[in-house]
Amino acid sequence: METPPFRLARSPGVSIADSRDPLRIRSADACCQPAQPALRLLRRRVRLAELDSHLHCSVIGTCLSTNELRKLVPKFAEIDRQRASDLEIHHTAVELAIADGPGSKALHKALDERYAGAIRRFETARDPQAVLALWEEACRNGDIPPAYWALMTHPQSTIEVRQTAFGELHMLSHLVGAANRADIRRLVALEKENAALKDKVERQQGRLQDMAAERDGALRELAEQVARAASHAHAVDAGSEVLHLRENLEDCERRLALHASRCEAAEARAVLEQESARALRACLDEAQSLLKVMQAECHALERAMTPQADRPGTRRSGYAWIGGRRIVYVGGRPGSNAALKALVESAGGEFVVHDGGLEDRKGLLAAALPGADLVVFPVDCIDHDSMNMVKRVCDRHQVRYYPIRTASVASFVELMARLAPGEPVRAGTPPGSAFCLRHG
């Protein structure tokens, strides 16, 4: 399998250099190795090291935070706790979980202690259907990490149950949307407003302190005046003066209460704005990651659409290598598929489209793949059954296949430009990944 043009998680133990070599990826991917013996016959809870190797990455990444791993992993592996990146910590933790040693036992113990409540709740399940029912309830409530660990180690969890939970957890990661430019502008505006609110709160606190000092001085002065008024109680205007002083005191207290309430409201709003700024900052990071992929696609699309690239009676120079080749495209949308077909045929190639089984029979898909030079499918517009069939048939007949990010024309054009012989790697193209689209 060739590496896709978008960012996916690398399998444990595979370096960045190895991730660019498909043959080395196949030998290093633990998720594509033969599965361990079935654990459904065990009467006890499953240990972490006994799980299928392709599940350890999701268990460690979902159920344990990076701070917890940074404290625990250096006790069992030679890794610098302060200088190691989060990715190195995660990979080392997955390696410890796969190896049945002290590190795996410590990770298992930490997970049991943290999610003891979920484990007790899952103990009421007596069959795989009951385990899945508790998992679905936890997904609806948003309490996924405890339920995921309890399901993976439950004695009634079969391979199908674990694969179902793994698939649902994998699909949840696709629901995280990228923030748009309006969110970025709003983040900047909120940060400025947050700084302004902080300055305003500091000024109000200083004013409150000054007012408190003035109030204390006024109270002392009023107390002295009351004392003098009491000593001169025989005077005719003593009662009216005391009443005037009391009114001044009440007015000061009302003003102090008003400013105190405004200060508390400003502090509460500043806290809310800080939380909103953190959320928007996370969305900004995701938007920047997606922007790099989109820049690579736009660059390839601009090169393909440049008028000077075409000459009357000649093929596009950037796609001359497609001439005489047969490309099978599985999935996609009718509108973009028509544009892709015209593009490939204009370069002298043959473009065969199969919709994955919506209108075309799936039996035709298995017959069309062996004679293809390369197979392309968009991961956002193809069902899992058709994708698995494409991978199995292509592996059997040694046909190259390429997953692309979306069913758009830009993603396909970027792939064709990247596969052109002698084409240099362009900036903005994300590195290849060893992530297995079937097992995770």
The answer as to whether 205 is a domain residue is yes
Last residue of a domain, one of 303, 332, 364: 303
Residue 155: the pLDDT is 92
Position 310 in a domain: no
- 155 domain residue, yes or no: yes
Q: Does 197 share its domain with 185?
A: yes
Asked whether residue 51 falls in the same domain as residue 169, the answer is yes
Q: What integer is the mean pLDDT of 244-260?
A: 90
In a domain, 308, yes or no: no
Co-location of 158 and 269 in the same domain: no
3-state per-residue secondary structure call for the chain? CCCCCCCCCCCCCCCHHHHCCHHHHHHHCHHHCCCCCCCCCCCCCCCHHHCCHHHHHHHHHHHCCHHHHHHHHHHCCCCCCCCCCHHHHHHHHHHHHHCCCHHHHHHHHHHHHHCHHHHHHHCCCCCHHHHHHHHHHHHHHCCHHHHHHHHHCCCCCCHHHHHHHHHHHHHHHHHCCCCCHHHHHHHHHHHHHHHHHHHHHHHHHHHHHHHHHHHHHHHHHHHHHHHHHHHCCCCCCHHHHHHHHHHHHHHHHHHHHHHHHHHHHHHHHHHHHHHHHHHHHHHHHHHHHHHHHHHHHHHHHHHHHCHHHCCCCCCCHHHHHHCCCEEEEECCCHHHHHHHHHHHHHCCCEEEEECCCCCCCHHHHHHHCCCCCEEEEECCCCCHHHHHHHHHHHHHHCCEEEEECCCCHHHHHHHHHHHCCCCCCCCCCCCCCCCCCCCC
30-72 pLDDT, tens per residue? 444 444 444 444 578 899 888 888 888 988 888 988 888 888 8
Q: How confident is the model at residue 394 (pLDDT cuts 50, 70, 90)?
A: very high
Residue 4: give its domain's CATH number: 3.40.50.10190
User: Confidence band (pLDDT; 50, 70, 90) for 16?
Assistant: very low
Same domain, 26 and 43: no
**Residues 200 and 226 placed together within one structural domain of the fold:** yes
Residue where one domain finishes, among candidates 240, 269, 303: 303
This prediction's pTM: 0.36
In a domain, 61, yes or no: yes
Tell me: pLDDT of 168 over 60: yes
Range of the domain at 199: 181-303
- Structural domains in the chain (count): 3
pLDDT the model gives residue 233: 62
In a domain, 312, yes or no: no
Residue 309: inside a domain: no
Both 39 and 158 in one domain: the answer is yes
Q: Are residues 59 and 19 in the same domain?
A: no
The pLDDT assigned to 174 comes to 64
Average pLDDT over residues 140-157: 88
Statement to judge: residues 157 and 29 lie in one domain = no
Instruction: Reply yes or no on whether the pLDDT at 187 is more than 50.
Output: yes
Higher per-residue confidence, 244 vs 305: 244
Q: Of 175, 200, 226, which closes a domain?
A: 175
